[in-house]
Amino acid sequence: MSESFERYHCQIALPGFGISSQESLKNARILIVGMGGLGCPSAQYLASSGIGTIGIADDDTVSESNLHRQILYTPNDIGMYKVDVAAKKLLQQNPSIAVIPYRIKVTSSNVMNLISEFDLIIEGTDNFETKCLLNDACVLTGKPLVYGAIYQFEGQVSILNVLQEDGSYSPNYRDIFPDAENSQVPNCREGGVIPTLAGMVGCMQANEAIKYLTRSNDLLAGKLWMINMMSGRTQVIKLKNSSFQITDLPQTVELITFEELSQSKDDFEIIDVRSLEEHEHFNIGGSNIPVELLEQHLDSISGRSKPVLFYCQSGKRSSEAVRKIKKVFPDKEVFSLKGGIRSISQ
């Protein structure tokens, strides 16, 4: 540690921290899933604090609309893969650490292998499906998960599934939001977000990771920290374990882009799962079965010879439709239109 003592002097000097805590950070392996508004500040502060190995997973590229809150990136990075840019900049920030980029979409088929080499997982994702997937994988493997969420002016942080002294685990994401996959809460692009909120929540996630690794007795385990950026108020509420049982991973919804659909439209049975009024106002073809009526048409859908593509306005209802069909017919080829028909005009 002598070669890097000066860099970390101010944290080593903290009461109760010392060189032993710094060694714990140096030996730690943290995986950050999602290098967006939360992943950027989390990764930057964890890299600067001396976390020995940081994995970063994301399959997205930098876009102009990211720049107001994802401050690790610049206009020169637009179109480049986030993990490639982030890995380079994090190593410039601290050359003594290891940064492992994973240019992948985290799915039910790769998540267990991905998290297996890490001590703690930080999720900075913007969709409920991946949040649930990471939570369930961490519960099944006994790993802690640092949760973060932002929407408009409000943010949340907790550290989930932490092993307790009595051998039990603290509440996990399903204990708080058991039906999160079917939530209709918009993401940042749709609902908006104040950029400073991303920095606050991402830093809090990094803080929880550092506290966990240095064996703090005051974790946000069993607690949910919330902030409102308009009022400046924060509050912490207690969480309880529920009876929700996690025995397997949820199946990842497979996505098809509109460009891919356009090239092979005849290869799919297309179903619009919006309302009749929405369908009549504008559609891209196919039949119309609102998602809330899907259960009444299960047999007809399962009997279709071609793969089925569901679409809606944003991709949320079509993803819900995919999950409903896969739950009853696991082997049926069903897809959701990525970003919904809203993505066509973007």
> Are the folds of 2-238 and 255-345 the same?
no
**241-293 pLDDT tens trace:** 999 999 998 888 899 999 899 888 889 999 999 999 999 999 999 999 999 99
pLDDT of residue 250: 85
Tokens encoding 100:
């492992």
β-bridge partners, 217: none
Q: Which amino acid is at 282?
A: F
**130-152 pLDDT tens trace:** 999 999 999 999 999 999 999 99
Closest CA to 181 of 227, 121, 125, 133: 133
Closest CA to 49 of 16, 88, 3, 96: 96
**255-345: CATH topology:** Oxidized Rhodanese; domain 1 (3.40.250)
Active site residue 312: yes
Q: Which of 40, 132, 138, 312 is catalytic?
A: 312
Contacts of 25 (CB under 8 A, 6+ apart): 49, 50, 51, 52, 210, 213, 214
pLDDT of residue 2: 46
Tell me how far apart the alpha carbons of residues 317 and 29 are, in angstroms, rounded to a whole number.
36
Confidence of residue 121 (pLDDT cuts 50, 70, 90): very high
Residue 194 CB neighbours (<10 A): 18
3-class SS of residue 208: helix
**70-107 pLDDT tens trace:** 999 999 999 999 999 999 999 999 999 999 999 999 99
**150-189 pLDDT tens trace:** 999 999 999 999 999 999 999 999 999 987 876 667 667 7
Domain range list for the chain: 2-238, 255-345
**200-214 pLDDT tens trace:** 999 999 999 999 999
**Alpha-helical runs (H) found in the chain:** 9-12, 18-26, 39-49, 82-93, 111-115, 128-141, 173-176, 188-191, 195-213, 258-263, 276-281, 298-302, 316-328
Residues 240, 171 contacting (CB under 8 angstroms):
yes
Active site residue 188: yes
| Dihedral over alpha carbons 292, 294, 295, 300 (to 10 degrees) | 170
Question: Is the CATH number of domain 2-238 3.40.50.720?
Answer: yes
Q: Which of 10, 138, 188, 203 is catalytic?
A: 188
pTM of the model: 0.87
Q: Which amino acid is at 271?
A: I
